[in-house]
Structure 1
Amino acid sequence: MMEKLRRVVNEIAYAQTLSHLPPLHRSLVPFLSIASSLYKLAVSLRCSLYQRRFFQLHRLPVPVISVGNLSWGGNGKTPMVEFIALCFCHYGISPLVLSRGYGGGDEVNMLRRHLLGTPTKFGVGANRAAVASRLIQKYGYVDIGKSSWHEKQYLDEKVQDSVDSEKIGVVVLDDAMQHWSLWRDLDIVMVNGLTLWGNLQLLPRGPLREPLTALSRADAVVIHHADLVSEHTLKYIESMVLGIKKSVPIFLTKLDPTYLFEVGTINAEIPLTALHEANILCVSAIGSAEPFVKQIQKMGALYVDRIDFSDHHIFHVRFVFVRKLLEDHI
């Protein structure tokens, strides 16, 4: 029941016009609109309280980079966090990745696997300021702005001090644009080039966590899945962003799959050519399934069908149902 309701709300959020929606969907719109108005009031009040310093703003002794977005999932935040962490690791800086651990911590677990063997530290919890302070106290920190560090990198960018490599040099926040209690030095806002901002309404009537004017806080905007949209669409997105903040730099990214793996044996790499001329059923529980499906189609699959679950859906609860669906498609 809840899965169906989430699907209905998602369809409403990304519908261009209400007239094309089924009666059930349209009947929910007034209730969702009321809830969105209340949500907008709460967001405005919270923002005002932080601006007036009613709530404490915590500062950490190391640079803080926030990777976030204005809408709900599927904007490429977690892959960007991984990319940033790897960049710092390459230069001998130990990053601390902070996540709220939503959805059972599946995103953090994925990051742990992908960043295994690097000096990356992980912190999980709703109070990220407290988590960061505890881990910085545990591991210590290094000031990457010191001239001695820059001199060391100039001589050999991959040389690391065995002691300093354990010390935290930078904090990377995953999904933290609305986490205002922690001061950040760089705000990166991710945008899904395919789904964009839906109907431009706030939750739950639409997909937005904040109004588009919040882009004025961005230090950089990244349009994700840029390879799956047209040049015209990219220019349209850029014009919208620059209309809110003229000086913000805009970057384009895409996901570049390298191999497949079997569930349960993730170390066994299967070449992407296995998808060529194959009949594929895409089963997903991610923020935005559309880019995933389009990516599979681009790889030369003969036929592609899909079963979309809500973000962070726990599959084992519905294992029998999923198995039946798979059997029906085979």
Structure 2
Amino acid sequence: MIKEYYLSILSGQQRGFISTIIKSALSIFTYPYLAVLNTRNILYKNGIIKSIRLPVKIISIGNITTGGTGKTPLVEFTAKYLNEMGEKVAILSRGYGGNNSSQESNDNVNDECLTLRENLQDVPLLVGKDRARKGEKAIRDYAADCLILDDGFQHLKLKRDLDIVVINSLNPFGGENLIPRGNLREPLKNLVRADLFVISHCNQSNEQTIKSIYTRLNQINPHAPVCESVHRPVYIENITDGSTLEPEWLKGKMIYGLSAIGNPESFAFTLNKLEAVLIRYRVFSDHHVYTKEEIGDVISETKSLGADAIVVTQKDIVKIRKMNIKDANILSLKIEIQITKGIKFYEEAINKVLNMEQSN
């Protein structure tokens, strides 16, 4: 409840005297956060803290704002691309927000990691705070010759050959405020470190907004190419038997939407775009771990509303699946990222890394 209220203040949904006071108080805490951030960056930049170079190619995919940018689908997209190029790929992830019972014994596995494991069953995913050690393990145990650093833009401990930053077109620059006052993980000027930008959810933003993002990125980092992308629905999976349907099945169906993701508005947009009749949409905070009681309440409400199905994201289904629910029609909408503009920039950046000689 507190987290939801906090997020509603950041988004501007909460207005008035109390929210203004809270925003002012939060602004104060951005200064020590910025001080720590700047100190760390200076220490790495001047070599006082050493970054580690592993003897393989490393591609970082990250963001500069919190929550819902579309980073995870791009990690999946990139892993598949590298596999097609004949690379032995492994993914290194920190695993923030991991509270699932299906996590590994010593790893903090969150719903995003579970989703990646489900979609990339032939790609090793190593989760843990010490990603240098996990990288060494990937090289040693899986003969990986190319590592994807998931959520790696702020992870300066590992040197990388390519820094891809995902910019969410629905909230590109976090309200221009650092955590905890806003959604920025570090100052926008640090985007100068990026080698390639991928703007996500472009079909959910107007042309003027996209142009303004291009302008701002060019002001900060004129040397990094920019791609545009959308989240494309691929298929619907039934949680009970694993059967699949085309996304078009949703047209005209009475749907109860449910999600616990960083960008719930994007999921609602997709359902509406598919012409589902969204009679109820219940939203939990990002990475929320559902209880059986909560899902039971959703099922009861679905039946009372006469909905045809409960539709969730894949990030949600990996948490609900273990509950072994049989008395409800729960469907998962599988989404993939599609680069709609600038695919040549993306391919050139990746291929440049694959063709380079490794050095220390």
When normalised by structure 2's length, the TM-score is 0.77
Cα offsets for 1:7-26 (capped at 9, x unmatched): 222222232xx9x6144433
Pair 255,329 (structure 1): closer, same or farther in 2 beyond 3 Å: same
Amino acid in the other structure paired with 1:128: R
**Cα contact 1:259–1:271 (8 A) shared by 2:** yes
Q: Distance in 1 between matches of 2:85 and 2:257?
A: 37
CA distance in 2, matches of 1:135, 1:175: 17
Secondary structure at 1:254 match in 2: strand
- Alpha-carbon distance between aligned partners in 1 of 2:16 and 2:52, rounded to the nearest angstrom: 47
Q: Percent identity?
A: 34
Which whole-Å CA distance do the structure 2 matches of 1:325 and 1:28 have between them? 35
**Secondary structure in 2 matching 1:257:** strand
Q: 1:260 maps to what in 2?
A: 236
Contact 2:271-2:278 within 8 A present in 1 as well: no
2:269: which partner in 1?
294
2:140 is the counterpart of 1:111: no
Verify: 1:283 aligned to 2:258, yes or no. yes
Which of 30, 33, 36 is the matching residue for 2:30? 36
User: Which residue pairs with 2:217 in the alignment?
Assistant: 241
1:195-254 deviations in whole A, cap 9, x for unaligned? 222321111110010011111111000000111111111101110110101121000111
Counterparts of 1:176-255 in structure 2 under 5 Å?
A: 176-255=152-231
CA RMSD of aligned residues (A): 1.9
Kept after mapping to 1: 8 A contact 2:139/2:145: no
| Partner Cα separation in structure 1 for residue 43 and residue 198 of structure 2 | 28
Counterpart CA distance in 1 for 2:271 and 2:305 is 17
**2:121 matched to 1:127?**
no
Structure 1: gaps (5+ residues): 140-166
Secondary structure of 1:168 counterpart: coil
Contact kept? 1:12, 1:206, Cα under 8 Å: no
2:16 and 2:207 mapped to 1: Cα distance?
32
Kindly provide the amino acid, as one letter, of the partner of residue 137 in structure 1. Answer: R
Larger RCO (alpha carbons 8 Å, 6+ apart)? 1
> How many Å apart are 1:328 and its aligned residue?
6.3
Partner of 1:58: 52
**1:169 maps to which residue?**
145
Q: Does the C-alpha gap of structure 1 residues 285 and 43 become closer, same or farther in structure 2, counting only changes over 3 Å?
A: same
Look up the match of 1:154: none
Find the counterpart in structure 1 of residue 244 from structure 2. 269
Q: Which moved more, 1:205-214 or 1:320-329?
A: 320-329
Does structure 2 retain, via aligned residues, the 8 Å contact 1:189–1:221?
A: yes
Describe the shift of the 1:273–1:185 C-alpha distance in structure 2 as closer, same or farther (beyond 3 A): same
Unaligned runs of 5+ in 2: 99-108, 307-360
Of 61, 80, 84, which aligns to 2:78?
Answer: 84
Q: 1:177 to 1:299 in 2, by over 3 A?
A: same
Report the Cα distance in structure 2 between the residues aligned to 1:70 and 1:242, rounded to whole angstroms.
16
AA matched with 1:272: P
Residues 207 and 304 of structure 1: is their aligned pair in 2 closer, same or farther, counting only changes over 3 Å? Answer: farther
Q: How many angstroms does 1:329 deviate by?
A: 5.0
Q: CA deviation digits over 1:72-106, x for unaligned, max 9?
A: 11111111111111011112211010011222222
- State the number of aligned residues: 294
Which residue number corresponds to residue 284 of structure 2? 309
**Which stretch of structure 1 is more off in the superposition, 127-136 or 256-265?**
256-265
Q: Does the aligned pair in 2 maintain the 1:9–1:204 contact within 8 Å?
A: no
Are 1:10 and 2:7 matched, yes or no?
yes
Mapped partners of 1:72, 1:304: distance in 2: 29
Letter of the aligned partner of 1:113 in structure 2?
E
- AA aligned opposite 1:187: D
Structure 1 length as normaliser, TM-score? 0.84
SS at match of 1:315: coil
Question: 1:193, 1:304 → 2: CA distance?
Answer: 27
SS in 1 for 2:287: coil
